[in-house]
Amino acid sequence: MPLSHSLAAILVTVIWGLSFVVIKLGVGSTPPLLLAALRFLFAAFPAVFFVARPKTSWKNVVAYGFFLGVAQFGLLFAALAIGMPASLASVVMQAQVFFTVLFAAVLMGERPGPHQAVGGLVACCGLVLIAWPRLSGGGAGPFLMTVLAAASWGVANIVSKRAGRVDMLGFIVWSSLVAPLPLLGLSLWLDGPAQVIAALRQVDGSTVAAIAYLAYPTTVFAFGIWAYLLSRHPAATVTPFALLVPVAGILGSVFFLDEAMHPIEALGGAVIVLGLAFNVFGPRFMRRSTAR
């Protein structure tokens, strides 16, 4: 892959990693589901007027918008609002890879390879390490919500897979139309109309900046670049760069949020990334071992 494309892939992972920091800062002043609604509202507009509708059924567009926008990011934003550290969330969300493999096996009959099974078991051990001290305290809820968000991402990936080869940028933009109203409705129900209206009236420059970052660089730009790279290079060449997302998330959380991971959380995070690495690089490693 050319150096310019490698640098573009690194830029995308940095943008995605730092989005956890931006979300954490944003939910400090704005109800989480309202913030998520605004993120997808501006991800859809005005881009929907310039990006062609994807050539797939509306059923796929709506399902993808629900599981990615309402379920995944609704749960993630809420989890970060009630105590989930941004650094830890950036690691736990990578479990979506293994949820995708599991759902593909159950729903589409795709048999996971040995490296995927081993990688999934290793990652599960990492999740257990992180969950163990949290399940006995107040951190159980945010942690479980983040795991459910990762599972929702896995379902969204299956919907995308079933949609076939479509323009991913158009798919993201048009599916973003699905999320704002349900998220706004949930925010009105859970937070109350008075709090939602007050939050909208008190929108300041930092909130606008957070929404703009989450809507445009994180959603439209980053997904567009990622789709461009996947269309021109093998997935096995592009996807390993996703391993840098939690790295950027952790470093950003340390620098901007002064977060510190507990040793058991750091160990669990390292085990998850190890499982993810084996899932990505396992076939190459096994081929080399067999050749020897």
- Mean per-residue pLDDT, 253-275: 81
Please give the residue that has the higher pLDDT: either 249 or 41: 41
Query: What's the pTM value of the predicted model, to 2 decimals?
Result: 0.85
**Domain membership flag for residue 288:** no
The C-alpha atoms of residue 31 and residue 184 are separated, in whole angstroms, by 10
**Domain membership flag for residue 292:** no
**Domain membership flag for residue 164:** yes
Residue 236 has pLDDT above 60, yes or no: no
**Domain membership flag for residue 71:** yes
Q: How many folded domains does the chain comprise?
A: 1
Please state, as a whole number, how many other Cβ atoms lie within 10 Å of the Cβ of residue 141: 15
Write out pLDDT tens, residues 24-83.
999 999 999 999 999 999 999 888 998 899 888 999 999 999 999 999 999 999 999 998
137 band by pLDDT with thresholds 50, 70 and 90? low
**Domain membership flag for residue 102:** yes
The C-alpha atoms of residue 14 and residue 210 are separated, in whole angstroms, by 16
Res 290: pLDDT:
59
Residue 117 has pLDDT above 80, yes or no: no
**Domain membership flag for residue 116:** no
**Domain membership flag for residue 34:** yes
Range of the domain at 158: 3-111+138-259
**Domain membership flag for residue 285:** no
- What number of residues does the chain have? 292
Residue 280 has pLDDT above 70, yes or no: no
Task: Please say whether the beta carbons of 273 and 246 come within 8 A.
Answer: yes
Backbone angles phi, psi at 136, to 5 degrees: -100, 5
Res 235: pLDDT:
58
The C-alpha torsion from 119 through 120 and 126 to 131, rounded to 10°, is 180
How far is residue 127 from each of residues 4, 35, 91, 103, 259, measured CA to CA in Å?
35, 27, 10, 18, 19
Residue with tokens 């109309």: 193
